[in-house]
Amino acid sequence: MPATPTYILLNQITLAAASSSVTFSNIPQNYGDLVLCINGSLSSSGVTQLNPNGDSANTNRSAVYMSGSVIAGASSGTLGAQNVRNIGSLNGTSRFNAEIQLMDYSATDKHKTFLIRYDDSAVATEAMVQRYAVTTALTSLNLTTSGGNFTVGTTFYLYGVYA
Amino acid sequence: MAVKSLAQQSLNQSFSTNSMLSGYDSNYFHHLETVRLGGSAASVTFSNLQRYSDYQHLQLRLVTRDTRAASAAVLHARFNGDTASNYAVHRLIGTGSSVTSANLSGNLFWLGLSPSNSGASGNFAATVCDILDPFETNKNTTIRSFNGFGGSVEFGIFSGAWLNTAAVSSILIFPQSDNFTSGSRFSLYGIKARS
């Protein structure tokens, strides 16, 4: 098997104005994994939410996190049903970054598992694993917030990784 | 297309085959091999890795499930078939109620956990494991792993050092017991220091 250059930048978005929603649609299906990198801040207290295939329902989701924060020290928990789409466990408005690994996103024989690192510069450093319990391939990714908007300059980079 | 002018509340970026950003090739991060299981298997081995010695680092990207009669099983690895107590291993995990850590040093690596037979159908674990300087012979090879699956009893980060300065020539990946299931995927990547 010849070595294949991968970790391909599929698309990027840099906000020139605040926005409550960002979407990558018509995602190519010929990669093994996706990696989504976000760097920005929110206009008011909240946390970024991940809606695969535009699914903003709180069903078919579960999330376990561990957090090192100024609020609770070292902690671990599960996200409640109303927060299960959040990629962090704590609200914040300061500079945050996130890296989301979406493994086997185009597979139709398994549920989808997301590995998430989320860091809010004033609140916490966190790791999380999420399960999206559907076998449908992911063709779009929508990011929203639980409060406020993504601010100007927030960046979203989507990479495809061959497998 | 680095800056978007927003005339609407939401932004929708659709892919185009003519996108100037698609088809961007990385000269440094390469896919080397993938094993996709069409049936169960007791282990997966990446061998003859000396042919990749022009890469500085390796990365494993795994999607796994196993047949153990339990809710989960540990995901293990060994280098060069070494079964001696040459692995220094630590973990930091979240259980959903507490954060714990452990020294797991012994005769194998811990990469994380996989869901097993008693777990929810369709659920697979994700693992991203970096292997640093595997072909340098002046240092021990180190690894770092991030692993988890939804509904797991624990997930977290794992680190390890192989207490041997030999170049890594093979990587054996195996579950705590029993077999990996069909649908499990094992991918190996190389990262170059320079193109």
Give the tens place of pLDDT for each residue, A101-135: 999 999 999 999 999 999 998 889 999 999 999 99
3-state SS, residue B146: strand
- Please answer yes or no on whether B15 and A6 come within 8 Å at the CB atom: no
Q: pLDDT at position A119, please?
A: 95
Per-residue pLDDT, B9: 35
| Dist CA B142 CA B81 (whole Å) | 16
Tell me the mean pLDDT per 10 residues along chain B, length 195.
36 39 63 97 98 97 96 96 98 94 96 93 96 97 96 88 98 98 97 82
Q: CB-CB: which of B24, B152, B187 is closest to A129?
A: B152
Cβ of A14 within 8 Å of Cβ of B2? The answer is yes
Closest B-chain CA to A104: B63
Q: Which residues of chain A have pLDDT under 70?
A: 1
Judge: A10–B185 Cβ closer than 8 Å, yes or no: no
Strand partners, A66: A76, A127
Q: Give me the pLDDT at residue A93, please.
A: 82
Q: How far apart, in whole angstroms, are the C-alpha atoms of residue B62 and residue A100?
A: 15
* Cβ–Cβ gap A133/B29 under 8 Å: no
User: Which single residue is written with the structure tokens 């950003």?
Assistant: B21
Distance CA B108, CA B174 (A): 10
CB contact under 8 A, A16 and B5: yes
For B68, the 3-state DSSP assignment is: coil
Residue B4 and residue A10: Cβ atoms within 8 Å? no
Q: Is B184 helix (H, G, I), strand (E, B) or coil?
A: coil
H or E segment and range at residue B97: none
Cross-chain residue pair B126–A111, CB shorter than 8 Å = no
Cβ atoms of A45 and A159 within 8 Å: the answer is: no
Chain A positions in Cβ-Cβ contact with residue B25 (cut-off 8 Å): 5, 8
**DSSP code per residue over chain A:** ---EE--EEEEEEEBSS-BSEEEEES--SS-SEEEEEEEE-BSSSB-EEEEETT---SSSEEEEEEEEETTTEEEEEE--GGGTTBSSSS-B-S-EEEEEEEETTT-SSS-EEEEEEEEETTTEEEEEEEEE---SPP--EEEEESSS-BPTT-EEEEEEE--
Asked if A32's CB is within 8 angstroms of B11's CB, the reply is: no
**Number of Cβ within a 10 Å radius of residue B93:** 24
Tell me what pLDDT residue A17 has.
97
Query: 10 Å Cβ neighbour count for B113?
Result: 27
What distance in Å separates residue A6's CA from the closest CA in chain B?
A: 5
Collect all residues of chain B within an 8 Å Cβ-Cβ radius of residue A29.
Answer: none
Which one of A23, A115, A163 has the shortest CB-CB distance to B13? Answer: A23
Contact by Cβ (8 Å): B148, B126: yes
Distance separating alpha carbons of residues A53 and A160, to the nearest angstrom: 16
Q: How far, in Å, CA of B181 to CA of B175, rounded?
A: 10
What phi and psi values does residue B49 have, to the nearest 5 degrees? -70, -10
pLDDT at B30: 96
- The residue of chain A with its CA nearest to that of B28 is A5
For residue B12, the chain A residue with the least C-alpha distance is A23
Question: Which residues of B are less than 8 Å from A10 in CB distance?
Answer: 15, 21-22
What residues in A contact B156, CB-CB < 8 Å?
66, 127
At residue B84's C-alpha, the angle toward residues B81 and B88, to 5°, is 100
Quick one: tokens of A156?
């979203």
* CA-based nearest distance B173→chain A, Å: 17
- Per-residue pLDDT at B127: 98
* Chain B residues close to A107, C-beta within 8 Å: 63, 183
Nearest CB to A62 within list B151, B156, B185:
B151
